[in-house]
Structure 1
């Protein structure tokens, strides 16, 4: 029987300066980031951190990319995925979503959302 595991972080809160409009890059905004990884379980009785996905490293990647101001959240999400792939090559799928909490729109809206799903082929 093949086992799969999911490891991730949900609801990571950041204040950052992403946005297409110049005022967004000056005023900043609150963002919520979710990172979910999935991979095959290979368990040989070893109980070591290097045999799994270290969620501390996932946080460090997200934090680093959120500090790098970009116009589009798509660019941020894709950069997070690329760095996770490099660090954890055995991961089969990665889902990264970023929500912008305050939008420059007049309607009642909870947040905007950008989400990418990577599947290793």
Structure 2
């Protein structure tokens, strides 16, 4: 993943489905700030484990807008988000929300098990 961080313009990163904060842990050697987001509808409440690892995190339901006052993101990691929300809300609205919180020239990483919602 070092190819993503050769640029000095990546400072703020969001993990939309943080689980235990593994993506943030993988980025520890880079000078970035990571917001770990845990779904309140998840089968596992892992925000406490994220805090215990020393990471920043919050609960958020991606069927609603994310409060980003004074902060936008250079990189968004969306691992498994669409599988969680495919039966709950419109996936297009989640993509629009991602576009809203990404800075111009920002990037997103998508990882899903299946793409049955398209």
TM-score, structure 1 as length reference: 0.28
Greater Cα radius of gyration, structure 1 or 2: 1
Q: Name the one with the larger strand percent.
A: 1
Q: Name the one with the larger helix percent.
A: 1
